[in-house]
Amino acid sequence: MINTPVDTKDTEFPISRQPTHSELVARGVTLPIAAGLSSRAAAPPSIGSASPEVVSVSLTVNGTLHALMLDTRTTILDLLREHLDLTGTKKGCDQGQCGACTVLIDGRRVNSCLTFAVMYDGAQITTIEGLATKGTLHPLQQAFIDHDAFQCGYCTPGQICSAVGLISEGRAKTADDIRELMSGNLCRCGAYGNILAAIAQAMRRA
Minimum CB distance to other proteins smaller for 109 or for 203 = 109
Write down the least CB distance from residue 193 to other proteins, Å. 6
C-alpha of 93 from chain center: 5
Residues 6+ apart with CB under 8 A from 49: none
Minimum CB distance to other proteins smaller for 65 or for 168 = 168
Minimum CB distance to other proteins smaller for 65 or for 169 = 169
Residue 126 near residue 185, CB atoms below 8 Å: no
Minimum CB distance to other proteins smaller for 65 or for 106 = 106
Q: State how far the alpha carbon of 51 is from the alpha carbons of 46, 134, 195, in Å.
A: 14, 43, 45
How are strands ordered across the β-sheet holding 64-71? 64-71, 54-61, 124-126, 102-105, 108-111
Minimum CB distance to other proteins smaller for 124 or for 154 = 154
Write down the least CB distance from residue 65 to other proteins, Å. 20
Q: What is the dihedral of CA 94, 99, 100, 105, to 10 degrees?
A: 90
Minimum CB distance to other proteins smaller for 65 or for 82 = 82
Residue 102 near residue 112, CB atoms below 8 Å: yes
Write down the least CB distance from residue 68 to other proteins, Å. 13
Write down the least CB distance from residue 164 to other proteins, Å. 12
Write down the least CB distance from residue 67 to other proteins, Å. 17
Q: State how far the alpha carbon of 139 is from the alpha carbons of 146, 154, 175, in Å.
A: 10, 19, 18
Write down the least CB distance from residue 86 to other proteins, Å. 7
d(CA 203, CA 189): 23
Burial of 94 (0-12, 13-18, 19+ CB in 10 A): middle
